[in-house]
Amino acid sequence: MHTPTINPNLARTLLRRAHLNPERLALIFEDQRIGYAEMADRVRRQATLLRESGVCVGDRVGFLGFNQPAFLETLFAANALGAIFVPLNFRLTGEELSFIINDAGVHTLVADQELRPVIDEVKDKLCCRNYFGAETGAEGWRDLLAERAQAEPLAEEVSVDVHDVSLIMYTSGTTGLPKGAMLTHGNLMWNNINAHFTFAADRDSVHLTVAPLFHIGGLNVSTLHSFTLGSTLVLMRAFEPGAVLAAFDEHKVTHMFGAPAMFLFMSQHEEFDSTDFSSVVTFVCGAAPPPESLLTLYADRGISFCQGYGLTETAPFGSFLTPEWSLSKLGSAGQPAIYSELRIVDDNNEPLPAQEKGEICLRGPNIMKGYWNRPDATAEAIDTQGWFHSGDVGYLDEDGFLYICDRLKDMVISGGENVYPAEVESVLYKHDAIAEVAVIGLPDEKWGEAVTAVAALNAGCSLTLEELRDFAESQLARYKLPLRLHIVDELPRNPAGKVLKFVLKEQLSE
């Protein structure tokens, strides 16, 4: 008996859905209402345009811009050719972007109008062969929409294996240099299968995406899943609390993913009390655990939260805290997804019993293939048994619920953004007034954690927070800039000279 071959190409998922349900509404963006048939046609035409521009199987296609249809269309078009999509963080500086673009070897870059000047500043350093403007052309930029309209639709997408890379998503490392997590077509598919059995979404769901698509949370918590279901995605260019609240009234949204800060800002808006949330099935919260006061506030409006823990490298879900546990297991990151495993290990990579703290490790078909061009970092992150070592410290309670305690890597999560102290410190050390500096995260009601610089100054020098931010803003994305500055005589160190950041946290959190 012949067994049909399943092509797990992410682009095929959309194109197959469009073939089965061409009449359904795929995407709402500002004044655009795009059906599945139209979206598939856009993707097929863009795939042809990319192919005629020299993009081949395995080549990298980058996108720099705010949330918009062209982001998703570029992703699907690249994958339709067997090429690899590289989403770029629009908050980064030209220097930061140039490292990532060249590290990935981006063949073709698509950028929107607002972000093109950032690229123009560093264009002479980049390896790209083609530059497309996402919405309009400009000097040195081809017009994506105009050229795409003239292209013939691609007849058939490339067949891929589940282990072939769909996208490379860059995540900063403790060394200060970003690493590209290679997420395969299988990784993305299995994450969506895990999500499907958790969120209770179906083909009639309306998903609201306002988190940045260049983040794995914005892209693969519910965005890509909505196309698998054949449901409708409401896409917003950027987060603005009033506009988000208006979307619930207008589009009868059922699901939304966001960081706790987003839900907090929504609750503080003057239109919150009058917003109709009756269509909502659940909100999905990630990046940090929401405080009890926020859960209670939304519960009073009849809204429950599904909380998630995960990383870029896990595509992203490692565990879920479903709504029925949100208060009785307050503070927990939940249980592993149905097709994923989770364990806590000691320094010898041996599993630990309940209540004992150790490193959180995850295993399953959603775990990345590895880091792009970094076999050393891959071997360090994924052990011989296939367990991904998260770098986060946590424990399991007697019921198997995960609690996160700390980070081995000293990462700071501010407003849902990952900030790595080593990268910030390397910039701040260049300031003439600074003798030594340590960057830590301190609790902050608004952002979850505040990027905090603790500095000892050179003799006779003074320094204000404003001066420090002004100095660093051309070298660091805004979310990486310190929100607080503490001046000390010297930094606490152990006998080996390592800065004791936990001491600083204890002292400054009091």
Q: How confident is the model at residue 409 (pLDDT cuts 50, 70, 90)?
A: low
DSSP state of 48: H
183 has pLDDT over 50: yes
d(C-alpha 368, C-alpha 353), whole Å: 27
* CA nearest to 102, candidates 52, 166, 170: 170
How, if at all, do strands 84-88 and 60-64 pair? parallel
CB 154 within 8 A of CB 88: no
d(C-alpha 257, C-alpha 225), whole Å: 12
Domain with CATH 3.30.300.30 in the chain: 412-509
**Which residue's structure tokens are 């863009």?**
46
pTM: 0.84
Listed range (36-40, 331-335, 406-410) with the worst mean pLDDT: 406-410
377 has pLDDT over 60: yes
CB 97 within 8 A of CB 88: yes
d(C-alpha 114, C-alpha 70), whole Å: 14
Q: How confident is the model at residue 456 (pLDDT cuts 50, 70, 90)?
A: very high
Q: Which CATH architecture has domain 185-409?
A: 3-Layer(aba) Sandwich (3.40)
Q: Residue 221: its pLDDT value, please?
A: 93
Domain with CATH 3.40.50.980 in the chain: 1-160
d(C-alpha 79, C-alpha 9), whole Å: 7
How, if at all, do strands 448-457 and 412-414 pair? unpaired
For residue 123, count CB atoms less than 10 angstroms from its CB and return exposed for 0-12, middle for 13-18, buried for 19 or more.
middle
CB 257 within 8 A of CB 307: no
Mean pLDDT of all residues in 317-324:
90
Q: Residue 357: its pLDDT value, please?
A: 86
Domain with CATH 3.40.50.12780 in the chain: 185-409
For residue 156, count CB atoms less than 10 angstroms from its CB and return exposed for 0-12, middle for 13-18, buried for 19 or more.
exposed
The number of C-alpha atoms within 13 Å of 233 and in the hemisphere containing its C-beta is: 33
187-232 tens-digit pLDDT? 999 999 998 888 878 999 999 999 999 999 999 999 999 999 999 9
Whether residue 365 has a cis bond before it, omega within 30° of 0? no
Q: CATH assignment of 1-160, given 3.40.50.720, 3.40.50.980, 1.10.10.10, 3.30.830.10? A: 3.40.50.980
Q: Cβ contacts of residue 407 below 8 Å, gap of 6+? A: 391, 392, 393
For 39, phi then psi, to 5°, come to: -65, -40
- Collapsing DSSP states into helix, strand and coil, what is residue 29? strand
Mean pLDDT of all residues in 480-493:
92
Q: For CA atoms 180, 163, 314, 112, give the dihedral sign.
A: positive
* CA nearest to 333, candidates 316, 353, 312, 318: 318
- Collapsing DSSP states into helix, strand and coil, what is residue 63? strand
Listed range (130-139, 284-293, 347-356, 361-370) with the worst mean pLDDT: 284-293
106-150 tens-digit pLDDT? 999 999 999 999 999 999 999 999 999 998 888 999 999 999 999
d(C-alpha 311, C-alpha 418), whole Å: 10
12-34 tens-digit pLDDT? 999 999 999 999 999 999 999 99
Phi-psi region of 342 (alpha: psi -120 to 50; beta: other; left: phi over 0): beta
Average pLDDT, the chain: 92
Q: Which CATH superfamily is domain 412-509 in?
A: ANL, C-terminal domain (3.30.300.30)
